[in-house]
Amino acid sequence: MSPDAVSHLVIEYRYAILIPLSFLEGPIIAFIAGTLASLGYFNIYVLAVFFLARDVIVDSLCYLLGRFLGKKEMTHRFLHRIHIEEEDIHNIRKMWTKHPGTTMFFGKLSYGVAAGFIVVAGMVEMPFSQFFKWGVLIAIMHYGTLLLLGYFFGSSFGSISGILEHLQYVIGGLILLGTIYYFVKRAITRRMRVEEKKAADEN
């Protein structure tokens, strides 16, 4: 779905459409919602609470999946599907134990494997209070940045007609943001793989 189509959906259905869309691509939806908040379509503080709650709830569910169903075959099939194998689990376990904050930061932003890192946090029985603390902090940094970027981006056009008149720039900005986000996440994923290798070498 193009950014143009997503923007029109969000404008038409407001908060009701944010829930399903945010589970498809939370960061991009946060940026679009932040843009529209500057024009009065959303309350920026409500958006901040919504995206924080959404992120923490999803992470908590992944954590609980690992904590209580980590030994089940379906969990290992899920991890295998996102290319986290048995030897990776052992290495990630050491990373959660030694560097929980760094692992949470890079793990949540890793391209394609973020959910797997959170599941492993539950499997290794990382204390939930510590997991929750780091998860909330990084969610505030992540979504707070995206909402503020969208808010100031929207303010620069001044009105919805201004955004529509300059739609090509809006779409270009979204594509640029998405491209940067993609490559940053790819770089973070590579960094996480390096950290895994270091953990393996320490064995």
CA 154-172-150 angle, 5° bins: 25
pLDDT tens, position by position, 8-31 = 777 777 888 888 888 777 777 888
Q: What pLDDT, on a 0 to 100 scale, did the predictor assign at position 110?
A: 65
Mean pLDDT (the chain) is: 75
Q: What pLDDT, on a 0 to 100 scale, did the predictor assign at position 46?
A: 93
pLDDT tens, position by position, 46-59 = 999 999 998 889 88
Nearest to 21 by CA among 56, 39, 47, 59: 47
Give dist(CA 91, CA 70) in Å, integer.
16
159 alpha carbon, distance to own chain's centre: 28
pLDDT tens, position by position, 41-96 = 889 999 999 999 988 898 899 888 888 877 777 777 777 776 677 766 777 777 77
Give dist(CA 179, CA 186) in Å, integer.
11
Domain ranges of the chain: 3-201
Query: Contact, 86 vs 80, CB < 8 A?
Result: no
On the question of pLDDT at 147 being above 80, the answer is yes
Give dist(CA 106, CA 122) in Å, integer.
17
